[in-house]
Structure 1
Amino acid sequence: MEQFPENEKQTIAIEKQQIIEQAHKLREKLLKAIEKGDVGATKQYVADVDRLIGDDSMDLLKRNPGNKLRSYKNFLLSHNTLYGYFAEKGGLSAVQAHYMTEKYAILIEHSDAISRLEQIHLDMLNYYSNPINRFQYNEKNSLVLKTENFIEMNFTEEIPIEQIARQLFVHPSHLMRTFKQEKGVTISHFRNRRRIKEAKQLLVYSRLPITGIAHMVGFTSSQYFSRVFKEEVGITPNQYRRKS
């Protein structure tokens, strides 16, 4: 083991302290950017975060000796929770924040390469900082757009049409008719499409069983999920997983 003179040890310790302080200031700025929904500022900090991880100046990847993958997973798991919390503070619905943090935790744990974890980290930052994913009620928005926003924030929940209509201050019949006329599909069909989109990612990048994926994205039974999936995609969930 390489030995350093005492003065060099002190210099190294000071440099390490400065790096840690800079990293924590950077993280604070990043979390504020996520809370504000500032995609541009978030992207600006990504390169600095990647550099800190890449050169491992904080020994993040040495926390599990001989297992950089596990160390990186632990880093992302803790930051996933932070990102989700600050996104929720900035307007991301509690339901969506809960779902997305759980989803990313699963994708992180089931990854088998650092390159995949790097992509997940980018996806996390893009999602959590994007103001489009925040529910913002605006009277000027059309009824259909308000409905789409509501579904996006609650697609994992089986909320009756009547309750959606009450949330949007319209009659259920008017809501269903207007939505079908503009989108060409029913609200239930639109919601199921959103669920299938999530399920496809989980089928490819996780080892969750079909039943677990079905319930996670909002289906009440795996049989119903499989039927809807085949109607939308043309093949069963198992076939899609094997093909991918």
Structure 2
Amino acid sequence: MNKLLYLCPLFLLWIVVGCEREEDLPVSMNPPTLRLDADTVALSESVYTLTAEGKSAYGGPQLSKVEFYKGEEKIGEKTIAPYNFGYTVTELIPEEELSFHAVLFDRAGNRVQSNTVKAKVRVGAKRIEAENTIIRGVAKKADDPATRETSSGQAKVGAIDNTDSGIDATIQILAAGDYLIRVAAGTGFDGTTHKIYIDDQFAEAKVYSIPNRGWNTWQTFDLVFNLSEGTHKISIRHNTGYGELDYLEYSKL
């Protein structure tokens, strides 16, 4: 009994101290904070990641959700940390500027907007298979076993053997500027060259020389043209020798 009487004051002291500790817990009316981070380049037709870091004030209410915006358009939300969001870039205009921000809500009804992040759209190279273009002159599509094994689209355009032979491809340019045009070509003859020009501007044709490394051995050649916004025709023609084409690509520099 004496032991119990001795322990009772200690038990009461423990209760009092515990209550005092609960009362000492901070209570904050300060709103939460939010920061948004992302890359400065958004690659077209890929996922662009937005990373939001939300923090409640010490002792403040818990976070509820983060909403993500492109301009004024809501593009998604997250209710559980980490507050990351992947935006699928559908924009196709090179150098177009995109603006993003996020908004955080807590369980007390506070609403906080993040900083704004901006990114420019980068459009990857667009490929056109030679066999899918308009084939001119005596040139023709080939898809023999060796060609199917080595060519990007399992076919090629061969027999580019005289002045009128080659291909025409139509492209759509969404932003004016310098464009890299890459051609994949090959030959089994020495002294083979092709010429390439835009919109039938023959006087401004550029010529590339194809080393003889055998048929179906593709080499790439890069040429730069300044293109205005709109539709253009790319023409590749025989210049000398005998050659073949696998594909062409174009991309803004």
> Fold conserved (TM > 0.5)?
no
State the TM bucket, normalised to the shorter chain.
Answer: under 0.3
Greater relative contact order (Cα < 8 A, sep 6+): 2
Q: TM-score, normalised by structure 2?
A: 0.25
Q: TM-score, normalised by structure 1?
A: 0.25
Higher helix share: 1
